Chains A and B, each alone.
Chain A
Amino acid sequence: GAGVSQSPRYKVAKRGQDVALRCDPISGHVSLFWYQQALGQGPEFLTYFQNEAQLDKSGLPSDRFFAERPEGSVSTLKIQRTQQEDSAVYLCASSSGQGIYEQYFGPGTRLTVT
């Protein structure tokens, strides 16, 4: 079946612009995760949804970052007033259960803030 998909794959934003990144999880997957991956580093946890409920947002670096999953499927990560340090690959992952096991990743969105 289809895996996790993300769009856009690449995004260039000028500093101060708002961006929205989309994640389509594997159909039926209950849990959804967002990560930020800087060049040469491992993924850093941002936030976690179980269905439409955001259970953990402790990894969001500032109040400029906001994520939602209103119908428990597609999720959007929004970054307001982007800054250069926001440049990274944003990865989405989903898992079938209600926990954090066996996460399957999307291809990521590479965000470059100029």
Chain B
Amino acid sequence: GENVEQHPSTLSVQEGDSAVIKCTYSDSASNYFPWYKQELGKRPQLIIDIRSNVGEKKDQRIAVTLNKTAKHFSLHITETQPEDSAVYFCAAINNDMRFGAGTRLTVKP
């Protein structure tokens, strides 16, 4: 089955800086890669996703890149704000659904 590794486990940045979170996956058949943001005690919220037929997708300050050859994908947040502070989860999905262990992002004002 699929195995997803996510790095780093914690990330602290200064407000206005960029943050990058990386995930690798093992199943080359995985074709859908969502990213979720989860604030403490809240539900995971889908913030961006990418399918295997594109290499990059952008939505305002958030972008995701996918390298299918290397089997890794990354979340990029630019101009970070304190409200971006949360735990971020990646996932790689085919028939088997696997989430990474999460990255706790702290944006310091």
Q: Are B43 and A106 interface neighbours, CB within 8 A?
A: yes
Task: Tell me whether B82 is interfacial, beta carbon within 8 Å.
Answer: no
Q: A105 to B43, Cβ gap below 8 A? A: yes
> In the complex, what distance in Å separates the CA atom of A108 from the CA atom of B44?
9
A66-83 interface code vs B (CB 8 A; 1 in, 0 out)? 000000000000000000
- The interface residues of chain A lying within 8 Å CB-to-CB of B43 are 4, 91, 105-108
Contact A107/B97 with A41-B102, A100-B32 known, Cβ cut-off 8 Å: no
Residues of chain B in range 77-98 having any CB-CB distance to chain A below 8 Å: 89, 91, 93, 95-98
> Which residues of B in the span 18-37 have a Cβ within 8 Å of any Cβ on A?
32, 34, 36
**Contacts A41-B101, A42-B99 given; does A104 touch B46 at CB 8 Å:** yes
B101 contacts A42, C-beta separation under 8 Å: yes
B23 CB to nearest A CB, Å: 11
Whether A45 and B98, one on each chain, are in contact in the complex, defined by CB atoms closer than 8 angstroms, is: yes
The interface size bin for chain B is 20 to 34
B99 touching A43, Cβ below 8 Å: yes
Listed residue (B42, B43, B46) with the most chain A CB atoms within 10 angstroms of its CB:
B43
- A103 at the A/B interface (Cβ < 8 Å)? yes
A91 pairs with B32, CB closer than 8 A = no
B46 neighbours in A (Cβ, 8 Å): 102-105
The proximity string for A residues 97-114 relative to B, scoring 1 for CB distances below 8 Å and 0 otherwise, is 000111111111000000
Which residues on B sit within 8 Å (CB–CB) of A101?
Answer: 32, 34, 49, 51, 93
The 6 closest A-B pairs by CB, nearest first: A42-B99, A105-B43, A45-B97, A105-B44, A107-B43, A42-B89
